[in-house]
Amino acid sequence: MLSSTSVRSYLHLHFLVMIWGFTAIVGLMVSISPVALVLYRTFFAAIGLGIVILLSKKSFAVAGRDLARILGVGFLLSAHWMLFFASARVSTASVCLAGMATTSLWTSLLEPLVNKRKISPLEVGLGILAFAGLYVVFRFEFDHALGLGLAIVSAMLAASFTVANSRLVQRIDAWVITFYEMSAAALFSLLFLGISESKNWNGGAPFIPAQGDWIWILFLALVCTVYASTMATQLMKQFSAYLINLTINLEPVYGIALAFFIFGEKERMTQGFYMGTLLILLAVILYPLLTTTVMKKNSRKIIEAGK
């Protein structure tokens, strides 16, 4: 039976996923390019995190090897967000979120490699089930090949930094990890913005925010990043990277529901949406139940073998 603390943490995780479900919508509300949006988001997030760390009197000190790893994760994070927002721009928020649903499948393959354990057929199977659910939801949107491709690569990067963070958070404060990651992401975004502007890869989108963009940029930086990303990193102490990413499969469900609330008829959901949603929910619910069952069986075998 789950403790009240575990239940609260799990509900907190879903609340964070709901916030992330709103990010694709925000990306469509601003006028600046995806690269510029990531730059401003990570820059202000780094400042906010730095202030929090100073006020809480935490140490910024990190061992050199760990710092290099964190900065590397920050570069991955920046690329993930660039591809994420670019996917929504060239296709739709729905297609972008559909591609992101493959995160759990990527994690089921990457986490065992990083942690040097066997790939679990259960995790791969449930990851495929979750992706199948998204395929049902968005099967009429699969003609947006570019947007879907960008989102799938973004999902692979998301799985990579989630697995990396799940190891780092065991020995380094979550706020400090996120601060350095945001700083590295801002630096990488700045460098890439200069390249993309010189090559005209931004399609004429401005890099200086309009007056109405600032509230959304700050929302992304302070709520979606400083708060949500740090809290998710903290929850990695309680849940596996796979469970977190499997729960993130609900991001498109929350995101499209929010889009329908905001944009009305433009985001009306089809029967396929509800069918796919049931598959996603099934994968999310089955994971903890089946994992608990397997653990109990293994424990029983160990006890019986010791008799």
pLDDT string in tens for the chain (307-residue length): 456 667 788 889 889 988 988 888 888 889 899 999 999 999 999 999 999 899 888 889 888 888 999 999 999 999 999 999 999 888 877 778 778 877 877 887 788 877 777 777 887 788 788 778 877 876 766 667 788 889 889 989 998 988 888 888 888 888 899 899 999 999 999 999 999 888 887 777 888 999 889 999 999 899 988 888 778 877 877 887 667 767 777 777 788 778 777 766 665 666 777 787 778 778 766 776 676 676 667 666 555 555 5
Angle at 85 between CA 201 and CA 46, to 5 degrees: 100
Which ranges constitute the DSSP H helices of the chain? Answer: 4-21, 23-29, 34-55, 64-90, 93-100, 103-115, 121-137, 145-168, 174-199, 214-218, 228-235, 241-247, 251-263, 271-306
Could you give the C-alpha distances from 262 to 89, 90, 118, 248, 255, in angstroms and in order? 18, 20, 44, 21, 10
Sole residue written with tokens 């721009």? 89
Residue 30 tokens read as 């601003």
Distance CA 13, CA 239 (A): 10
Sole residue written with tokens 């930086």? 221
Distance CA 15, CA 205 (A): 32
Among 187, 175, 164, CA closest to 225: 175
